[in-house]
Chain A
Amino acid sequence: MSSKEQVVQSILEVAREMNESLARRIEIERGEDAPLFGKEGVLDSLGLVSFIVAVEQTLDESLGVTVMLADVRAVSQRASPFRTVGALADYVVAQMTGQHE
């Protein structure tokens, strides 16, 4: 089982890649607190879709973990799992352990 820290690192790796082509960059130096989407977030909905797909592919490639992040459940959660790097990592870990709401 991969630890949350590994998941965070994978997400930050994708954020670094996205920053190469973003006008306003994701503040990766804030680590888990780096905002992604919504309040303070720099991604628009298209950027979010690309980001999430890339995270899914990276997790699969580097950790051998298959998760579906952009499903209806994620979109309908009251506290969006896409608001920060940390929230997304929590959501990934919950999916991996089957404890999603």
Chain B
Amino acid sequence: MFTEELLRAADENRKKDAIVWRERHYTYGALLDSITQWDDRIRASGLARGSVVALDADFSPEAVAALLALVRAGCVVVPLSSAIKGQRTEFLVIAEMEAIVDLSDPAGASIQHTGTTAAHELLVRLKTIGHPGLILFSSGSTGKSKAAVHDFVPLLAKFAVRRASRRMLAFLLFDHIGGVNTLLYVISNAGTLITVEDRSPAAICAAIERYSVEVLPTTPTFLHLLLLSDSHKQFDLSSLKLVTYGTEVMPENTLRRLREVMPHVELQQTYGLSELGILRSKSKSSDSPWVKIGGEGFETRVRDGLLEVRARSAMLGYLNAPSPFTEDGWFRTGDAVDVDGEYFRILGRRSEIINVGGEKVFPAEVETLLETMPGVEEAVVAAQPSAITGQVVVARVKLSAEESLSAFRTRMRQYCRDRLAPFKIPQKVILVDQPMHGVRFKKLRRERI
């Protein structure tokens, strides 16, 4: 009953491609049949409304069908992707998992009961109202992973209005709010989901060319790597109409260069959080970091320089952390912002601000500048304690060619001298060989320094 609206377009377009997976095309007719099979399987296994069910998956047609059937059955779905690796067991415990859908067995999918009965107040609340739910784990790049519990009904409400039917690339992962959003958008408008296993710039560009992808939802880090790789020159990307990017601060230089190399593509910033869903946002222009955030169902305000959002689709709460909401229901995002009329510019996480002798430094500003230096492939900036200035700015830098640390430091100081306030110029530089982003194509600041 919960997926009626969501699947209406699918039902009207049974012959159309729903998903391209491992080079095979699956129609909406096939997807709907598969969902029906899952309905039977769920019924046979005795999963009741409110059951907490893990789904280890990528965007395979089978996984998508299982997800939609679980929602239809009123279950609380916990999508897990290979990106979580060693944390899987921990996540199963935190979410009080009652059953696990196993798609890995080639002989056929199965549903295994764990013997657990979920007792967390939020999970009980979902069981009581009989709504399907969604549990998303924050990516953990800033500390411990937190489990956000959503009522699926308000999340689905956003997709009740029909929008343009698009061919979208499933770049963001299955267990990420952005990935879930991509999937629901495609299905609700009978678009086509193009899935990939390799997320390197060349593989993504090849998929865009081969399947005439129109929309690429991605991250600033990926776009930066794409520009470095020059893959956009080797493939025909003329089908691409829209690139959306979120999850971290977009360097202005990357944005400007994208504008140059993809003048036909609309570039749009999104603002999404596991806790809130994806907010509709509108960039001031394609090359502007200023963005309007909100839209129907969302209100925004700024307190002490930090963005707060009140959202109809906000999560119910965390399973393993205190409530981040104010008493009157505003979610404290922890993102520091500049405000200009109705536009915001996101500066970065407050928790990542570096305090150098009382002066504030946002890592993204320094990283952005360093990445405009010739020979710099990636730069990640974070704080390190210092007895003299409290903290210092430490830059880990990946260079494209051999250069001594001393020579690079000299070059960097000269380059930054007229472009950054003195306290923002990294006091410490470490040269690294390894990429500094995770599988989700987001800069890792905490884990490495």
Contact = CB atoms under 8 A, between A and B. Distances in A.
B389 A57 contact: no
A21 interface: yes
Contacts of A53: 392, 427-428
Given A57-B405, A61-B405, A49 B389 contact: yes
B387 A21 contact: no
Contacts, number: 50
B214 to A, nearest CB: 48
9 contacts: A21-B417, A45-B357, A45-B388, A45-B389, A49-B386, A49-B389, A53-B428, A71-B387, A74-B387
A54 interface: yes
Interface string A37-57: 000000001101110111001
Contacts of A21: 410, 413-414, 417
10 nearest A-B residue pairs (beta carbon): A21-B413, A53-B428, A50-B427, A20-B410, A49-B427, A72-B387, A75-B387, A70-B387, A17-B406, A71-B387
Given A46-B423, A49-B427, A53-B427, 12 more contacts: A17-B409, A17-B410, A20-B413, A21-B410, A21-B414, A21-B417, A46-B422, A49-B386, A52-B388, A71-B387, A72-B387, A75-B388
B3 to A, nearest CB: 57
A17 B408 CA distance: 10
Question: Which of A14, A57, A58, A74 has the most chain B CB atoms inside 10 A of its CB?
Answer: A57
Contacts of B356: 46
Which label, helix, strand, loop or mixed, suits the secondary structure of the A interface?
helix
Interface string B423-444: 1010110000000000000000
A58 B425 CA distance: 19
Contacts of B417: 21
Question: Which of A17, A49, A71 has the most chain B CB atoms inside 10 A of its CB?
Answer: A49
A45 B392 CA distance: 11
Contacts of B428: 50, 53, 57
A71 B423 CA distance: 19
Interface in A58-101: 58, 61, 70-72, 74-75
Interface residues of A, number: 21
A75 B386 CA distance: 10
Question: Which of B388, B413, B428 has the most chain A CB atoms inside 10 A of its CB?
Answer: B388
A93 B414 CA distance: 32
Nearest to A37: B388
B389 A46 contact: yes
A53 to B, nearest CB: 4
B409 A54 contact: yes
B392 A49 contact: yes
Nearest to B394: A53
Nearest to A58: B406
Question: Which of A45, A46, A72, A75 has the most chain B CB atoms inside 10 A of its CB?
Answer: A46
Interface in B388-425: 388-389, 392, 405-406, 409-410, 413-414, 417, 422-423, 425
Contact of A48 (B388, B406, B409): B388
Contacts of A61: 405
B393 to A, nearest CB: 9
Nearest to B384: A53
Contacts of B427: 46, 49-50, 53
A12 to B, nearest CB: 13
Question: Which of B356, B357, B387 has the most chain A CB atoms inside 10 A of its CB?
Answer: B387
A58 B356 CA distance: 23
Contacts of B422: 46
Nearest to A22: B413
Nearest to B391: A49
A46 B414 contact: no
A75 to B, nearest CB: 5
Contacts of B386: 49, 70
Interface in B176-214: none
A70 B388 contact: yes
A72 B389 CA distance: 11
Contacts of B413: 20-21, 50
A45 B427 CA distance: 11
Interface in B354-397: 356-357, 386-389, 392
A42 B387 CA distance: 20
B278 to A, nearest CB: 41
Contacts of A48: 388
Nearest to A21: B413
A50 B387 CA distance: 13
B127 to A, nearest CB: 54
A21 B413 CA distance: 6
B361 to A, nearest CB: 12
A91 to B, nearest CB: 13
A74 B386 CA distance: 11
Nearest to A72: B387
A49 B388 contact: yes
A42 to B, nearest CB: 14
Interface in B3-20: none
Contacts of B357: 45-46
